Amino acid sequence: MSAIQPIIIALDYACKLDALNFVEQLDPTLCRLKIGKEMFTHFGPQFVTELQSKGFEIFLDLKFHDIPNTVAKAVAAASDLGVWMVNVHACGGIDMMKAASNALKNKPQNKTLLIAVTVLTSMSQQDLQAVGIQRTVEEQVLALAKLTYEAGLDGVVCSAKEVTLLREHLPKDFLLVTPGIRPVGSALDDQKRVLTPSEALKMGSNYLVIGRPITQSPKPSETLQQICLSL
């Protein structure tokens, strides 16, 4: 595991210059960067390469969910781009996840980690029921995490609230990446299942996704350093 701090900063900018101005304030030894659908659609693979040239490892958060062959080719393309991590939706099923996992395992010298999303941290129990899922949030997360492990992936995205549950049922080297992390005093925004960074790590999270508390800070470098010191 890299010596880089476990912080992954979620970049959410509509303007490339704003994003680059923000990134210039960061130390790549203290964090990784997450690029999601908005920025990847706006700026494309070249933006990933540009950030990598500045020393940052990239989590490409596109949550692939399609037929197995399509997803396998998509994650292989992400590996060709040299990203540190890429993800799929676990609800795409075990055949889809196995195809994606095998696509990376069959690539010589592949270093890209592959994880799956279980239940989005913006979803509540009522949200699950509204789409026909009768399991509790915890039951659904555990079921999908077990399926992900069976498919041969490296880990899952899950709320820090479910970390303890997953640590009880899955191997220690199975990675848990937790969004919805909010430092003490931060607004919850649209996240419904959150913990502080230190709480999440103590419970067994490997990587912490933090967005607005850092990206909207007037002094993002200082905020990042404070979070790292709190771990």
* Mean of pLDDT values over 203-220: 93
Structurally, the chain folds into a number of domains equal to: 1
Residue 224 located in a structural domain = yes
Residue pLDDT, tens place only, 116-148: 999 887 888 999 999 999 999 999 999 999 999
Q: Are 156 and 170 a contacting pair, CB within 8 Å?
A: no
Residue 39 located in a structural domain = yes
Choice among 16, 63, 98, 146 that is catalytic? 63
Residue pLDDT, tens place only, 150-161: 999 999 998 878
Residue pLDDT, tens place only, 22-40: 999 999 999 999 999 999 9
- Interatomic CA distance for residues 225 and 147, integer angstroms: 36
- Residue recorded with tokens 């693979």: 45
Q: By residue range, what is the domain housing residue 66?
A: 7-230
Residue 2 located in a structural domain = no
Residue 54 located in a structural domain = yes
Residue 158 located in a structural domain = yes
Residue 86 located in a structural domain = yes
Residue 141 located in a structural domain = yes
- Interatomic CA distance for residues 48 and 58, integer angstroms: 7
Q: Is the pTM above the cut of 0.95?
A: no
Q: Helix crossing, 37-53 with 16-23: angle to 10°?
A: 40
Please report, for the domain that includes residue 156, its CATH number: 3.20.20.70
Residue pLDDT, tens place only, 51-99: 999 999 999 999 999 999 999 999 999 999 999 999 999 999 999 999 9
Q: Give catalytic status of residue 202 as yes or no.
A: no
- Interatomic CA distance for residues 208 and 10, integer angstroms: 10
Residue 153 located in a structural domain = yes
DSSP 8-class letter at 216 = T
